[in-house]
Structure 1
Amino acid sequence: MSSHLEKCARNLLVCEKSNFMNEESRHEIHVSKHSFNYKISLLMPECGVLPVDVAKVISNFKSYFLVQDQPVYKFLEEKFLDIVKKGGFYALSYKTRIDEDNVVALLSSGHLILSLNKDTYQHLGLEGKPSVYKHKTDMRYVVTVDLTDKSMVPGTKRYQRVLLSLKERVPLKSDFLWTRWPPDDDGVLQDLLSQFTYKECRPTFVSHSLREIRCPTLHPSDLRGNTHSCSPAEFLEWLGSVNLKICCDNSASSFLSTYVCPEPSAPVSKAVLCTVTGLIPPEDVYTLLQELRRCLAESGFPAWVSLTVHGFADSPVSWGSTEHGFLKGGENFYNVVCFKNQDYWLHMATGSQDGCPP
């Protein structure tokens, strides 16, 4: 076996602890900057079923749209620019691979991100920069166009140049996922969709009731882990085992390896685990986080809940406009552990092809 295959790819885990009531808390900023989310996992120990108000928030998550064969230059048309300048519009090319294909994203800030292979970039003729995740020679380039800039008003030289490049020099097109927050109350989005073949999609929701599981004992003040709590890496590994329904009782049978819940831990008679998949805008994630905070303040609710948000592995960005790459794992997620006293832990994880989370 090749020596580089025997090594695990480097990954980065950034952790911080704060209180939601703290004026300097950055939880809202972190959530808002993670634009392209495809899955949410929510774990609530000591709950047999998902609370009604939490389920209601999830049921109100926005629809998203799968748009087929959309030319990229369409984002530059005047009707598109009008909706982009209002903010809250997200678009991501669908089933494109960040390490091989041309990948396109439109952020709610109005920044159009083009992650391009070398040939496409050279033919396109727009100014960009080499990907920060290089081979020995530059193989990928990133072009960023701020569609809200005054230089991108239709009729200006800059606008005409970008339009010419995307419409005639290299007529890029792809299937796209779109969503808009707040919801489409003026019919503009439907008017834009009418130009294409599209399908409206609802986020998929699945809930499982868990019985007789063992959970780590967590203390709000102990993020790093010592005698009172497990370490962040151990906690995330345990969360992964719960989501994958891996047995944690350490019983050896015909298997060469076993897994046990990190210590200190305690038995839990019941828990609820739910997952939501789709194109989920950060605004919906934040609404859910606020509802979880409210629930925790009520009596009868668990001491803590865990919310994990997974970004698309092939998104060209992770947080904000920070470039995201794939390499081996494509890690791109964060986890928030919320406690009854409004303390929280925030874990932000990336792979070796990402910059440090903010």
Structure 2
Amino acid sequence: MPVTITKTKIIKSREQAQQKPETVSFLASGLGYFLPFGAKVEVKMSVKTFLHCERSSLLNPKNRLQAQIQQQPFNYKVSVLLPDCDGGGASSQLEATLRTFQSFYLIRNLPLYELLNKGLHQGSVCGLSYKTRIEEDNCAFLESNGRLSLSLDKDSYERFGVEGQACKPKTSRYVVTVDLTDAVMAPGRRSYKRLHSGLTSRLPLKMDFLFATPAGNSEKLQPLLLRYDWSQHAPEVASRLLTDLTLPGRFTSDLDSYDPFDFLEWLGAVQTDVGRNNTNDDYLSTLACPYPAGASSPSSLLLSACGLLLPENVETLLAQLGRVFEEPRPAPWAAVTVHGFADSLEPRQRHFYTLVLFPNHVYSLYRATPDS
């Protein structure tokens, strides 16, 4: 089945900025290409998912890595794979870094009008409704920049009385997005009164809500913690050593000889502990290490943290990995995979991204997002 790759050329002038992207087609089974610095590739994996590939360097002042990490404000899990690493100092340092991630709070049966509290949306607090299904239930999301989003079914949207947009044409779900930091949303203004009355009288929603704040500072949450049932949670951290792990062959920062689909499939199998020592004629599974297979790593390190994780946590982890690479005989590369919540409102936040780092500061970023 053919897939479509859209390659955006490096822009060097104003005239080149007007050029349309170059589009070529490959077969998924034969996909292999070289990415120059700054290049971007979009691979259509299916009718519902895109794989975006980008290669650059941490030393390049124009790299967009930090901005891309910030695009996914709600993260559920981060995993790190370090091949040819026997634990030791790297293991203890990375595990200690994961354990510095801030705690998060679960507030039960929270009336949504409480999200209009000025101390929340001006205090870098973010949160999302807990155990709500994005395609069936009413859901809410509060970003740290004060952006409040509600995903509502048709009946709730009509009762709410605040203008929004249909998720898709001829759909039964609607999204209402409000910038709570906008001057028109100041208490007493007409827009604020309409939103407040919608959440207090026309549609008095209550939900279990997860909250996180930078560095775990709960001061902004104290008014809610005093009035509602709540619990505090720390991210779950896990670490284990993998023995005799067969690695992809010729895997270097040049990225000119491997298929990103195969690599991500292999990496996912490693992270989920799925068997990979199969052959093409196996009856139950043909999943194997990407061809050509490389040497077997006697010891590889796999760590993970699960919870409500912020982009700042990912940046802290990457900084620590940079220090690990400075040690004598560092790992040949590291793969960091960050999973967003499957029920997130924003399509770009629903799937995952994987960052492959090399000791020479070159990185490759793979982002999987729904085509919606």
Q: Match for residue 59 of structure 1?
A: 99
Structure 2: state its 5+ residue gaps: 1-44
Distance (Å, rounded) in 1 between the aligned partners of 2:358 and 2:282: 39
Distance (Å, rounded) in 2 between the aligned partners of 1:85 and 1:124: 24
Distance (Å, rounded) in 1 between the aligned partners of 2:335 and 2:289: 16
Q: Match for residue 53 of structure 2?
A: 15
Distance 1:202 1:335, change over 3 A: same
1:128 pairs with 2:192: no
Q: Match for residue 161 of structure 1?
A: 194
Q: Match for residue 39 of structure 1?
A: 77
CA contact (8 A) 2:357 2:363 kept: yes
Distance (Å, rounded) in 2 between the aligned partners of 1:25 and 1:290: 16
Distance (Å, rounded) in 1 between the aligned partners of 2:238 and 2:254: 32
1:341 pairs with 2:369: no
Provide the TM-score with structure 1 as the length reference: 0.86
1:262 pairs with 2:290: yes
1:204 pairs with 2:233: no
Q: Deviations over 1:276-299 (max 9, x none)?
A: 110001111111111112211222
Distance 1:244 1:156, change over 3 A: same
Residue type of the partner of 1:119? D
Q: Match for residue 4 of structure 1?
A: none
Give 3-state SS (helix, strand or coil) of 1:259's partner. coil
- Name the count of aligned residue pairs: 324
Give 3-state SS (helix, strand or coil) of 2:216's partner. coil
Give 3-state SS (helix, strand or coil) of 1:214's partner. strand
Q: Match for residue 248 of structure 1?
A: 276
Q: Match for residue 40 of structure 2?
A: none
Structure 2 counterparts to residues 67-82 of structure 1, below 5 A:
67-77=107-117, 81-82=118-119
Q: What displacement does 1:86 show?
A: 3.2
Distance (Å, rounded) in 1 between the aligned partners of 2:98 and 2:204: 38
CA contact (8 A) 2:353 2:367 kept: yes
Q: Deviations over 1:279-330 (max 9, x none)?
A: 00111111111111221122222010000000000011244xxxx6xxxxxx
Q: Match for residue 145 of structure 2?
A: 109
Q: What displacement does 1:68 show?
A: 0.3
The counterpart of 1:150, out of the listed 170, 180, 183, is 183
Distance 1:239 1:161, change over 3 A: same
CA contact (8 A) 2:247 2:297 kept: yes
Percent identity over the alignment is 37
CA contact (8 A) 2:86 2:299 kept: yes
Distance (Å, rounded) in 1 between the aligned partners of 2:204 and 2:211: 20
Q: What displacement does 1:120 show?
A: 0.6
CA contact (8 A) 1:297 1:341 kept: no
Q: What displacement does 1:352 show?
A: 3.4
CA contact (8 A) 2:50 2:369 kept: yes
1:173 pairs with 2:206: yes
CA contact (8 A) 2:82 2:301 kept: yes
Structure 1: state its 5+ residue gaps: 1-6, 325-330, 354-358
User: Larger relative contact order (C-alpha < 8 A, sep ≥ 6)?
Assistant: 1
Residue type of the partner of 1:302? A
Q: Match for residue 313 of structure 2?
A: 284
Give 3-state SS (helix, strand or coil) of 1:242's partner. helix
Distance (Å, rounded) in 2 between the aligned partners of 1:250 and 1:56: 35
The counterpart of 2:173, out of the listed 140, 149, 162, is 140
Q: Deviations over 1:41-79 (max 9, x none)?
A: 1111111225322222111100001110001111113xx
Residue type of the partner of 2:159? H
Distance (Å, rounded) in 2 between the aligned partners of 1:141 and 1:174: 18
1:183 pairs with 2:216: yes
Distance (Å, rounded) in 2 between the aligned partners of 1:346 and 1:173: 38
Give 3-state SS (helix, strand or coil) of 1:51's partner. helix
Distance (Å, rounded) in 1 between the aligned partners of 2:181 and 2:115: 12
Q: Match for residue 10 of structure 2?
A: none
Q: What displacement does 1:152 show?
A: 1.0
Distance 1:303 1:66, change over 3 A: same
Provide the TM-score with structure 2 as the length reference: 0.83
Distance 1:195 1:237, change over 3 A: same
Residue type of the partner of 1:234? D
Distance (Å, rounded) in 1 between the aligned partners of 2:53 and 2:346: 20
Q: What displacement does 1:84 show?
A: 1.7
- Give RMSD over aligned pairs: 1.9
Q: What displacement does 1:192 show?
A: 2.7
Q: What displacement does 1:252 show?
A: 7.9
The counterpart of 2:370, out of the listed 336, 343, 351, is 351
Q: What displacement does 1:231 show?
A: 1.2
CA contact (8 A) 2:347 2:370 kept: no
Residue type of the partner of 1:16? E
Over 6 Å off, 4+ runs: none
CA contact (8 A) 1:34 1:318 kept: no
Q: Match for residue 122 of structure 2?
A: 85
